[in-house]
């Protein structure tokens, strides 16, 4: 699949170019209108007071009021446009971010805060919707204010310029000192969330075996590290923000004193005193605002980099040529499987084939690669070498959504989604086929069980199917796997939580799939799950040790082999020897 290296976030923001241009124009208008206060004071002190003209004062006051109101309207519009830019970015990128979050566990090692990309997107949206961007739009107007200060008097201009340099240094120091602790805080926060999620999912184990205090201790260590970094960032940003604010107030008063000195020396008019003080304060306000919001800017910048990385790792699926539904065969050719994020081969050189109507049971000791092979058969894991094919086409020649219609999968842990039983069986389809839902439930022999529930198929089962027993979840998961009559049905330990009636229903369901021309793959430890298959695949240490008709393979596994009696170091001829015993040979000839 071809990966588009262009940043999707930049592409999404590029669609808001006109909105950003509008914000820039409005920022220019706002900054020009901000001069109203300075020039109003200048005119009042230099014209109105000396002339004692009430009409001039009323006229200037009315004009200033109108300009201030117009400035307020423009600033309201600007803030709303920025908020909508943030929402627009979220709307365009959120589906891709969610897609990457869901696909991340399939290609990456387990662990970490899986929801961090969504939090990063929230951080970026919140920053774009806040006051931070307005500071960056106002900063380019700083030279204009400095120019006006120089027009008032060169000394006032120099004072404002020195103040701008000091605030720029403070901004650079804020950035340099907060970037590292902010990144560390994000990592510790992700680890803290991971531990919290693990504790929530394992609440029963923690309570039953008294592990809660130990987990709380580990969580507390991560929490303290997270809070320490957050406190460090807040201290730096808050400290420099306070310094910049105090410095601006000192500078404003200093410019006021400088203006008074210039008036005493006859080098400036009285209006310069107030006007220059207001103007310098306004000129340095964007820099102070940027420093105050630098913490959010750094967090958004780091989130931007992480989002770019994860979206590049999981590019959007491209449209593929629609292939006909598989109806003939499943073939595995020299497949080697490596778990995501590792270099360890768990299945090596796996080759076998199944035809329509056949069923295979996969058996073997623990850690022999059974579940890994099941994941590869349904496309969850892509082979590092070799291929898995349906009717001659590799699984990546279908889109995930199209391939999913032809595959039914029941993993070891049959987690369900919050919602109704019907929506879970229908695979969360927005318009489920009622007849197909009931047919799948009947095939899984769970229809009567569902009808006995409070609201039947519309019963709400809570997150993960929390209101159901493990056996009920597994049987509803089996119905979900059978929904839509998929061609390939892969079941991983489907009878782990089933009683005897449930196992009989499982056998009938597997036979029904074979009877309609489908293929069944069943990973099992208990022999009762193999009643409906005609082939057997034996795995050992990730390799196929035997494959063939079930009866033949079972005979090979149970063939007895004579085991010689141990030879004693000192044998007594008068001691009668025990007869040799025969034990089953569990080794399988490939």
Quick one: pLDDT at residue 157?
85
Quick one: pLDDT at residue 243?
87
Q: Of 285-294, 474-483, 525-534, which gets the smallest average pLDDT?
A: 285-294
pTM for the full model?
Answer: 0.71
Query: Residue for token digits 């056949």?
Result: 358
- Helical (H) or strand (E) element with 72: helix 54-107
User: Phi/psi at 347 (nearest 5 deg)?
Assistant: -135, 130
Q: Which residues are CB-contacts of 338 (< 8 A; sequence separation ≥ 6)?
A: 344, 345, 346, 384
Cα 558 to the center of its chain, rounded Å: 49
Is pLDDT at 584 greater than 80 in this prediction?
A: no
Quick one: pLDDT at residue 110?
58
**Other Cβ atoms closer than 10 A to 9:** 21
Cα 400 to the center of its chain, rounded Å: 19
Query: Which residue, 495, 449, 441, is CA-closest to 468?
Result: 449
pLDDT digits (tens, 9 = 90+) for 461-516: 887 777 788 888 888 999 999 999 999 999 998 887 778 888 888 899 999 999 99
Quick one: pLDDT at residue 178?
85
Ramachandran region, residue 462 (left: φ > 0; alpha: ψ -120 to 50; beta: rest): left
Is pLDDT at 574 greater than 60 in this prediction?
A: no
How far apart CA 471 and CA 475 sit, in angstroms, is 6
pLDDT digits (tens, 9 = 90+) for 423-466: 999 998 888 889 999 999 999 989 999 999 989 999 998 877 77
Q: Where in the chain is the domain with CATH 1.20.1560.10?
A: 8-313
Quick one: pLDDT at residue 262?
84
Cα 227 to the center of its chain, rounded Å: 23
Higher pLDDT, 229 or 269: 229
The domain defined by 329-558 carries CATH number 2.40.128.20: no
How far apart CA 118 and CA 111 sit, in angstroms, is 16
Mean pLDDT, residues 293-311 taken together: 85
Are residues 449 and 505 in contact, defined by beta-carbon separation less than 8 angstroms?
no
Q: From the options 1.20.1560.10, 3.10.20.30, 3.40.50.880, 3.10.580.10, give the CATH code of 8-313.
A: 1.20.1560.10
Q: DSSP string of 152-190?
A: H-HHHHHHHHHHHHHHHHHHHHHHHHHHHHHHHHHHHHH
Q: Where in the chain is the domain with CATH 3.40.50.300?
A: 329-558
pLDDT digits (tens, 9 = 90+) for 25-68: 998 898 888 888 878 888 888 888 888 888 888 998 899 999 99
Q: DSSP string of 250-272?
A: HHHHHHHHHHHHHHHTTSS-HHH
- Residue 523 carries which DSSP code? E
């Amino acid at each position: 699949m071809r990966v588009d290296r262009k940043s999707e976030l930049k592409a999404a923001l590029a669609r808001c170019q006109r909105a950003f241009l509008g914000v820039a124009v409005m920022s220019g208008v706002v900054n020009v209108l901000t001069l109203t206060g300075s020039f109003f004071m200048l005119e009042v002190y230099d014209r109105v007071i000396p002339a004692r003209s009430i009409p001039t004062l009323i006229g200037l006051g009315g004009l200033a009021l109108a300009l201030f109101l117009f400035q307020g309207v423009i600033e309201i519009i600007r803030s709303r446009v920025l908020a909508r830019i943030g929402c627009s970015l979220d709307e365009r990128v959120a589906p891709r971010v969610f897609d990457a979050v869901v696909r991340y566990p399939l290609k990456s090692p387990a662990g970490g805060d899986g929801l961090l990309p969504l939090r990063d997107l929230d951080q970026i949206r919140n920053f774009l919707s806040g006051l931070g961007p307005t500071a960056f739009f106002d900063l380019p107007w700083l030279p204009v204010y400095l120019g006006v200060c120089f027009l008032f008097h060169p000394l006032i201009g120099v004072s404002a310029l020195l103040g701008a340099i000091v605030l720029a240094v403070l901004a650079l120091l804020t950035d340099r000192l907060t970037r590292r602790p902010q990144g560390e805080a994000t990592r510790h926060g992700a680890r803290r969330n991971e531990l919290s999620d693990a504790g929530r999912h394992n609440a029963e184990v923690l309570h039953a075996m008294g592990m809660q205090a130990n987990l709380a201790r580990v969580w507390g260590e991560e929490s303290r590290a997270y809070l320490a970094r957050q406190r460090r960032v807040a201290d730096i940003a808050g400290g420099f923000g306070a310094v910049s604010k105090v410095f601006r107030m000192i500078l404003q008063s200093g410019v006021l004193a400088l203006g008074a000195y210039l008036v005493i020396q006859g080098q400036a008019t009285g209006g310069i005193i107030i006007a220059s003080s207001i103007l310098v304060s306004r000129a340095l306000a964007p820099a102070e605002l940027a420093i105050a919001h630098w913490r959010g800017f750094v967090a958004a910048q780091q989130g931007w980099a992480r989002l770019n990385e994860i979206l590049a790792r999981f590019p959007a699926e491209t449209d593929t040529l629609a292939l006909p539904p598989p109806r003939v065969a499943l073939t595995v050719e020299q497949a080697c499987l490596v778990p995501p994020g590792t270099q360890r081969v768990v299945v090596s050189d796996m080759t076998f084939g199944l035809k329509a109507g056949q069923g295979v049971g996969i058996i073997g000791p623990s850690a022999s690669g059974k579940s890994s092979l099941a994941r590869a058969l349904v496309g969850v894991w892509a082979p590092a070498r070799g291929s898995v094919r349906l009717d001659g086409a590799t699984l990546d020649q279908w889109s995930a959504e199209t391939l999913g219609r032809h595959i039914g999968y029941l993993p070891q842990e049959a987690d369900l989604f919050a919602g109704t039983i019907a929506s879970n069986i229908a695979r969360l389809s927005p318009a489920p086929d009622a007849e197909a839902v009931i047919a799948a439930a009947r095939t899984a022999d769970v229809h009567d069980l569902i009808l006995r529930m409070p609201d039947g198929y519309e019963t709400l089962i809570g997150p993960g199917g929390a209101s159901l027993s493990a056996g009920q979840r597994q049987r509803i998961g089996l119905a979900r796997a059978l929904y839509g009559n998929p061609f390939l049905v892969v079941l991983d330990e489907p009878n782990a939580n089933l009683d005897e009636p449930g196992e009989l229903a499982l056998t009938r369901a597997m036979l029904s799939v074979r009877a309609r021309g489908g293929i069944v793959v069943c990973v099992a430890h208990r022999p009762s799950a193999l009643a409906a298959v005609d082939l057997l695949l034996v795995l050992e240490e990730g390799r196929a040790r035997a494959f063939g008709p079930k009866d033949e393979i079972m005979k090979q596994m149970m063939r007895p082999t004579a085991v010689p009696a141990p030879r004693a170091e000192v044998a007594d001829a008068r001691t009668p020897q025990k007869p040799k015993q025969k034990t089953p040979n569990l080794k399988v000839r490939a």
